[in-house]
Amino acid sequence: MVVEDNDEDFDMLQLAFRGASIPNPLFRCADGEETLEFLGHQGRYQEEEQAPRPGLVLLDLNLPGMDGRQVLERLKADASLRSIPVIVFSTSDNPRDVQSCYQLGVSAYLLKPVDLDRFERMVRLLKEFWLDFVVLPALPVAPLRERRWQ
């Protein structure tokens, strides 16, 4: 799952994912509210087929409305979602952003590369590590409870 409001960044991610032969489907949410609807099967995402549980979340920090920090805080506070690895994917190299994200439980913090070669290399390395080597938690067997985000 990718949480990204910038169309160009998302298009570049899609191309890099295809170039790295990542077979996993890529679901996109453009803001924090939509992300919580997707993960909580609310609003337009009530059907689980529309919003399957992601194995990994790539999260931009600077989103309109509810920002990425708030999304991260909500995900890590929810017992049924906190095991999903979240990787912040941001242009911000502010040490405060990095520190606060790790304190909230982010799995990794990546800076968005500005040139295409580095961007593609980062996606290949992300695939190798997170999809080829890391053992991710199993999907829950029981259906997810209804969530009411506060």
Q: What is the tens place of the pLDDT at every residue in 12-71?
A: 999 999 999 998 889 999 999 999 999 999 999 998 888 999 989 999 999 999 999 999
Q: Supply angle C-alpha 40, 86, 141, rounded to 5.
A: 50
d(CA 53, CA 139): 8
CATH of 2-129, one of 2.60.120.40, 2.40.50.140, 3.40.50.2300, 3.40.50.620: 3.40.50.2300
Q: Give the tokens for residue 112.
A: 């968005």
107 strand-pairing partners? none
Residues with Cβ within 8 Å of residue 5, at least 6 apart in sequence: 30, 31, 60, 62, 63, 64
Contact, 67 vs 61, CB < 8 A? Answer: yes
Q: Say if residue 147's pLDDT is above 80.
A: no
pLDDT at position 139, please? 66
pLDDT at position 23, please? 85
Q: Say if residue 127's pLDDT is above 70.
A: yes
Q: Domain ranges in the chain?
A: 2-129
d(CA 117, CA 19): 11
pTM: 0.88
Mean pLDDT confidence for 70-78: 96
